[in-house]
C-alpha cells in the first residue's frame, strides 16, 4: 500500500495475500452476493370435466279416440354413459423443446462481421528523448511517508536516452534518496498498464499504482487507491495487487515462476466502479467487486515510485546494493 509522498500522515498498510508470506493482517474479501433467480412456475393444464350422461325421457301421449300408433322414444341407458369427447391438453411451451441453433463456430464469418472493438488508447509515454515530459508527469520534489527512509528527489527520476524511465534509490552518508512521479493526465474507468523491471534487495519497495485525483481535497482513503503492482525486494517472485477505499481494504498476491527482477514484465489494473482486476503479463490474478461508483467512477492519476524501507518491507540490509533502479519501458492508459 502506498499513500502520496506529500501526505504527512502515515497509513497503516493492511494486506491479505494468497502467497505464503506476509506480516500484514488478513482481511476477508467482500463480494456482492448475486440475487437468487426467481423461478416462474408454468400453469397446470386442467382437462375438461367429463359431461354427465344425457337421459331422454319417454313422453306417452294420451289415448286418442281412434287408434294412433304410439311412438316411443327409447331412453339412453343410464348404466352406459355416452363417452365424453376426448380432450387433448395443450402442451406447455417446455413440452416441445426448441431445436438448438447451429453453433456459431460452424458458420464462417462474413466479410462484414464486426469484431469486438479493441480498447481505445487515452494517453501513453514511451519515454523517448532525454528529458521527462513535464506535461505528462509531475515529480515529487521532496517528502516520504509510511515510515520510509528515502527522501524523494527530482534528481533521482531520469531518462536514460534509450526510451526508458529510471527511478533510482541511493544511499549516502546523509541517508537514502529516491524518486516518485505522478501523471498529469487522469484515467476514469479503463486500464492502465506499464512494462517494468523491478530491483531486488531487502528494504526495496517498487510500486505502480493509481490514486484518486481528488486526494488533496478529500484525503485518503476517501480518494480511493488502486495498486497495479507492489513488490518487496526480498522476494521478487511475488507481486501484490490492492484496492483501498473507505471500508474496503484488500490485497491479493501471486507468485511468478520467474524472477520479476530479471527482466521486464507488464503490470496492469482494469476497473469500473463495480469491478477491479489486476494482471501480470496479461493473466488476471485478482478480481474485486467494490461496487463504489462515487469512489472508482472518478478520475485517477498514475503513480510510479521506488521506496526504501518503511512499515512493510523493513529496512535495507548490508547486502542490499545501491544504487538500485526501477526501470520503466512504457506506461499506457486505455478506455
CATH number for 185: 2.60.120.200
- The reply to whether 236 falls in a domain is yes
Q: What pLDDT score does 141 carry? A: 87
- The reply to whether 15 falls in a domain is no
Contact 157, 165 (CB under 8 A): yes
Length of the chain: 335
Question: Residue with C-alpha cell 482494469?
Answer: 270
- The reply to whether 62 falls in a domain is no
Q: What pLDDT score does 118 carry? A: 76
- For residue 118, give the 3-state DSSP assignment: coil
pTM, two decimals, is 0.68
Q: Give the span between the Cα atoms of 186 and 210, in whole angstroms.
A: 9
Q: What pLDDT score does 26 carry? A: 32
DSSP 251: E
Q: Of all residues in the chain, what percent are helix, strand and coil, respectively (each to 5)?
A: 5, 35, 60
Q: Give the span between the Cα atoms of 187 and 132, in whole angstroms.
A: 20
Q: How many domains does the chain have?
A: 1
**Grid cell for residue 213:** 485525483
Q: What pLDDT score does 73 carry? A: 44
- The reply to whether 160 falls in a domain is yes
Q: Of 215, 223, 217, give the one whose Cα is nearest residue 244.
A: 223
- Residue 245 phi/psi, 5-degree rounding, is -160, 170
* Dihedral sign, Cα of residue 145, residue 146, residue 150, residue 152: negative
Each residue's pLDDT expressed in tens, for the chain with a length of 335 residues: 454 443 433 333 333 333 333 333 333 323 333 233 333 333 334 444 444 444 444 444 444 444 444 444 444 444 445 455 554 554 444 444 444 444 444 344 444 445 556 789 999 999 999 999 999 999 998 878 889 999 999 999 999 999 999 999 999 999 999 999 999 999 999 999 999 999 999 999 999 999 999 999 999 999 999 999 999 999 999 999 999 999 999 999 999 999 999 999 999 999 999 999 999 999 999 999 999 999 999 999 999 999 999 999 999 999 999 999 999 999 999 99
Q: Give the span between the Cα atoms of 268 and 209, in whole angstroms.
A: 9
- The reply to whether 1 falls in a domain is no
| Boundaries of domain holding 316 | 121-334
- The reply to whether 107 falls in a domain is no
Q: Of 309, 310, 312, give the one whose Cα is nearest residue 24.
A: 312
- The reply to whether 98 falls in a domain is no
Q: What pLDDT score does 140 carry? A: 92
Q: What pLDDT score does 19 carry? A: 39
- The reply to whether 2 falls in a domain is no
Question: Residue with C-alpha cell 482486476?
Answer: 277
Q: Give the span between the Cα atoms of 65 and 177, in whole angstroms.
A: 140
Amino acid at each position: 500500500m502506498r499513500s502520496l509522498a506529500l501526505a504527512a500522515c502515515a497509513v497503516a498498510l493492511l494486506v491479505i495475500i494468497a502467497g505464503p508470506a506476509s506480516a500484514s493482517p488478513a482481511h476477508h474479501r467482500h463480494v456482492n452476493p448475486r440475487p437468487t433467480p426467481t423461478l416462474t412456475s408454468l400453469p397446470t393444464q386442467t382437462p375438461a370435466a367429463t359431461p354427465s350422461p344425457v337421459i331422454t325421457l319417454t313422453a306417452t301421449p294420451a289415448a286418442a279416440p281412434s287408434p294412433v300408433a304410439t311412438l316411443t322414444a327409447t331412453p339412453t341407458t343410464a348404466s352406459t354413459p355416452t363417452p365424453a369427447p376426448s380432450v387433448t391438453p395443450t402442451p406447455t411451451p417446455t413440452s416441445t423443446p426448441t431445436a438448438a441453433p447451429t453453433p456459431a463456430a460452424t458458420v464462417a464469418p462474413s466479410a462484414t462481421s464486426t469484431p469486438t472493438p479493441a480498447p481505445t488508447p487515452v494517453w501513453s509515454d514511451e519515454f523517448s528523448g532525454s528529458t521527462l515530459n513535464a506535461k505528462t508527469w509531475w515529480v515529487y520534489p521532496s517528502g516520504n511517508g509510511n515510515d520510509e527512509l528515502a527522501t524523494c528527489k527530482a534528481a533521482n527520476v531520469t531518462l536514460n536516452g534509450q526510451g526508458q524511465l529510471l527511478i533510482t534509490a541511493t544511499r549516502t552518508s546523509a541517508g537514502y534518496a529516491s524518486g516518485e512521479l505522478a501523471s498529469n493526465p487522469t484515467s476514469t474507468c479503463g486500464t492502465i498498464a506499464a512494462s517494468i523491471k523491478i530491483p531486488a534487495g531487502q528494504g526495496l519497495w517498487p510500486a505502480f499504482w493509481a490514486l484518486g485525483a481528488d486526494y488533496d481535497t478529500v484525503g485518503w482513503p476517501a480518494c480511493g487507491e488502486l495498486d497495479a503492482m507492489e513488490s518487496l525486494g526480498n522476494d521478487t517472485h511475488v507481486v501484490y495487487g490492492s484496492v483501498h477505499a473507505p471500508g474496503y481494504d484488500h490485497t491479493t498476491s501471486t507468485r511468478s515462476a520467474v524472477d520479476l527482477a530479471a527482466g521486464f514484465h507488464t503490470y496492469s489494473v482494469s476497473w469500473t466502479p463495480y469491478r477491479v482486476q489486476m494482471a501480470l503479463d496479461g493473466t488476471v490474478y485478482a478480481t474485486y467487486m467494490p461496487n463504489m461508483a462515487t469512489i472508482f467512477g472518478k478520475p485517477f492519476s498514475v503513480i510510479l515510485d521506488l521506496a526504501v524501507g518503511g512499515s512493510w518491507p523493513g529496512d535495507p540490509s548490508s547486502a542490499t546494493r545501491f544504487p538500485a533502479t526501477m526501470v520503466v519501458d512504457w506506461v499506457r492508459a486505455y478506455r
